[in-house]
Structure 1
């Protein structure tokens, strides 16, 4: 996988799948930038990256002005990774304001990032966007109404972008990374509210697996899959991106 000469931005790239994706894109030769919501998160990410060359930016996805300044630099690759699982709870038990905040982070902010980067991509004749999707986009889970709704909206946004700009060189993918060992999964296990929360930690995949697949999607080899919602468990996708087959 060679991405030499490409610039990439990973939102929420300070930990978990985001951090692993920063590392995978950098290893493939891209000039990688990433966002973090707080100074401590940014510092921790720089420490964890070690010698991996990447530029971190202190930016909250919901701060449209700060994000626009960053996004208007123009990138060849955008990975919309930033997301929250909260609020976890049944519909009658969660504040509407918290539900709306989840939609803002998981969907509206991804739209804003896409819109700003898309203008530069179209002007240059192409670019790649990877929206981090989820099985929750297609199957409801108890206690996750906000997360499921946000990811379902993101899946439709992926299809809309492909419809409107695929012919102009925009490669867009929705990618479900599976159940991965991240801080989000810690919160999910603590909730105990649905079957996903019951999964033992040892059954979770390492973040490096979906990260490798995401990096592969950013290469021309993935062109035939543009516009689709993809899943890390797909045997053909795993083989093409160099991941081992599942047991």
Structure 2
């Protein structure tokens, strides 16, 4: 896809992978609308000449507000990037409200936004849906069961959606990042990919019209998974 002249909506676009991707897309000539919920980071994004929308997508009302805000806009690309983790440790009290917010933001929100924007995307000469899942969608890590479950669910949804849209002008790309250096991974002690490099690889996949972008070390995990899902699961459960 030619990105110059496209209008792109990026959820979770004021920080981490989303902000790095927004910058990269802007550099490629796209008009980028970033969605976030932190007032300070939204202000910083506006200072970089991004249009911003303050929306919390962890509930039904936020999804409805975002769809209303972009109704009638000629959006060519929807990037479902917003995500959050939720602790689920059976040895400690479990915050089920946080679990529900994580499930909604990571899985329900992308589905709702896609459903609400299909007509807009169908009307464009060429369009794209980019769903950011995770290497953990291939094989889960024991310490993050909720996050892994939502990303695996979004991966399955993305694959089925791509099959439904195969004869349309809407291309569906799944992005599977490794551990990336963001606020969400601040306490993760594993090696992390810089967000700008992750964004660079995503943009390459978008420009080349790929179905799946295995970013960084996810390429190796995907290779192992294709050879032996059992080995991939054993490795990642200890990750």
TM-score bracket, shorter-length normalisation: 0.7 to 0.9
Q: Which of 209, 216, 221 is the matching residue for 2:204?
A: 216
Hey, what does 2:179 align to over in structure 1?
179
Hey, what does 2:215 align to over in structure 1?
232
Hey, what does 1:27 align to over in structure 2?
27
1:204 aligns with 2:192: yes
Aligned equivalents of 1:32, 1:91: Cα separation in 2? 43
C-alpha distance 8-89 of structure 1, shift in aligned 2 (>3 A): same
The answer (yes or no) to whether the contact 1:71–1:117 under 8 Å persists in 2 is: no
1:60 aligns with 2:56: yes
**TM-score normalised by L of structure 2:** 0.82
Aligned equivalents of 1:90, 1:115: Cα separation in 2? 35
Superposed CA deviations along residues 98-150 of structure 1, whole A, max 9, x for unmatched, are: 22221101000011111122221123354111111111112111231110111
Q: Give the CA deviation at 1:88.
A: 4.7
Hey, what does 1:239 align to over in structure 2?
none
Unpaired runs of 5+ residues, structure 2, are 221-239
**TM-score normalised by L of structure 1:** 0.79
Q: Counterparts in 2 of 1:86-101, with a 5 A limit?
A: 86-90=86-90, 93-101=93-101
Aligned equivalents of 1:130, 1:5: Cα separation in 2? 17
Hey, what does 1:147 align to over in structure 2?
147
Greater Cα shift, 106-115 or 94-103: 94-103
The answer (yes or no) to whether the contact 1:175–1:231 under 8 Å persists in 2 is: yes
Aligned equivalents of 1:87, 1:70: Cα separation in 2? 32
Unpaired runs of 5+ residues, structure 1, are 190-196, 236-247
Q: Give the CA deviation at 1:71.
A: 3.7
Cα RMSD of the aligned pairs, angstroms, is: 2.0
1:103 aligns with 2:88: no
Q: Give the CA deviation at 1:77.
A: 0.8
Q: Give the CA deviation at 1:65.
A: 2.3
The answer (yes or no) to whether the contact 1:80–1:110 under 8 Å persists in 2 is: yes
Aligned equivalents of 2:63, 2:138: Cα separation in 1? 28
1:70 aligns with 2:53: no
Hey, what does 1:157 align to over in structure 2?
157
Q: Give the CA deviation at 1:90.
A: 3.7
C-alpha distance 90-139 of structure 1, shift in aligned 2 (>3 A): farther
State the aligned residue count.
214
